[in-house]
Every structure is written in C-alpha cells, then in structure tokens.
Structure 1
Amino acid sequence: MVEQVFALSKGNETAVEKVIFDENLHYLHMVFNKTEGLPEHFSNSNVYITVVRGKLSIGLNDQEIHEYEAGTLLKIPYQTKMNVKNLNEETLELIIVKAPAPKS
C-alpha cells in the first residue's frame, strides 16, 4: 500500500489529535465543547484553520474576538497571538494545518 491512512475521532468528546507531525507540516484535528479551547499562545508557523462544524471564537493579536462559522478557512501568519475558544453551545470541530512545520 502506497498511501498512509489516518483516522480522526468522531463525536463530541473533547479532542486534540496530532494526526500528522512530520518535517513538512503539522495536521491537527480538534474538538471543543462550550467554554473549551486552547491556551493563549503565539503561532509558531503559518497556521491554516478550517472550521468543520460549530462556530470558532478567535482573538488575534489585540483585536476583539471574531466568530467564524463552519465552512470557513482562516490563514494566520507566523508569530500572531492567538486565543482560540468555543463560546457557543454547539460543538466546535477544527482542522489545523501548520506549514511549514515548526522547527521546535
């Protein structure tokens, strides 16, 4: 078999899955329920966030929180302060790609 196959979790349980972590890119799958999210941090690469379901509440640098619905793709530059949260009732599901892969 030439291809590699990866399975993502299904359902509404909180998850932060490092699906692919290699020298080319990092591919993560995340699921958050209301009030859950990531600790505030600075992006360590170019970050591409796809909202698969729910509504993403995200604060970038010093701007106010913006909300993005399912079907939205965000491109966030390297060294951007990020505050990723689910402030809504519906489960939030994200695909996050970091490219190029962070060096550390």
Structure 2
Amino acid sequence: MIEQVFNYSTENDTAVEKIIMDDNINYIHMIFNKEEGLPEHYSNSNVYMTVIKGILSIQLDEQDVHEYVKGDILKIPYNTKMNVKNLHDDVLELIVIKSPAPALFKK
C-alpha cells in the first residue's frame, strides 16, 4: 500500500488530535465544547485553520475577538498571539495545519 491512512474522532467530545506530525506539516484536529479552547500562545509556524462546524471565536495579537463559521479558513502568520475559544453552545470543530512543521520553521 503506497498511501498512509489516518483517522480522527467523529464524536463531539473535547479533543486535540495530532493526526500528522512530520517534517512537512502538522495536521491537527480539534473539538471544543462551550467555554473551551486553547491556552493563549504564539503561533510557532504559519497556521491554517479551517472551521468544520460551530463558531470559532479568536483574538489575534491585540485586535478584538473575531468570529468565523463553518467553511471559513484563516491564515495566521508566524509569531502571532492567539486566543482560540468556543464561546457558543454548538460544538466547535477545527482542522489546523502548521506549515512548515514548527520543528523546521526558519525564522
């Protein structure tokens, strides 16, 4: 078999699943229920964030919180302060791709 096959959760339970973590990309699947999210941090690569379902509430650097819905894709530059939350009742599901992989990112 030439291809590699990966799986991710299809439930609504909170999860941060590191699906692919190789020299090319980091591919991460995230599920957050209301009032859940990530600790505030700085992006360690270029981040591409796809909203699969729910409403993403995100504050980048010092700007106000912006909200994004299913089908929205964000491109967030390296070294941006990020505060990622689900402030709504619906489950938030995201796919996050970091490229290049943070271990190889040339600053």
Which of the five TM-score ranges fits, normalised by the shorter chain? over 0.9
**1:103 matched to 2:103:** yes
1:8 counterpart residue number: 8
Amino acid of the structure 1 residue aligned with 2:69: E
Could you list the runs of 4 or more consecutive aligned residues of structure 1 that deviate by over 2 angstroms after TM superposition?
A: none
What is the TM-score when the length of structure 2 is the normalising length?
Answer: 0.96
Instruction: State the Cα distance separating 1:83 from its structure 2 match.
Output: 0.2
SS at match of 1:13: coil
Instruction: State the Cα distance separating 1:103 from its structure 2 match.
Output: 1.5
SS at match of 2:102: coil
Structural RMSD (CA): 0.8
Name the CA distance, whole Å, in 1 between partners of 2:51 and 2:39.
18
Q: Number of residues paired by the alignment?
A: 104
Instruction: State the Cα distance separating 1:11 from its structure 2 match.
Output: 1.5
Listed as ranges, the matches of 1:1-104 within 5 Å are 1-103=1-103
Unaligned runs of 5+ in 1: none
Amino acid of the structure 2 residue aligned with 1:93: E
SS at match of 1:88: coil
Q: Percent identity?
A: 63
Unaligned runs of 5+ in 2: none
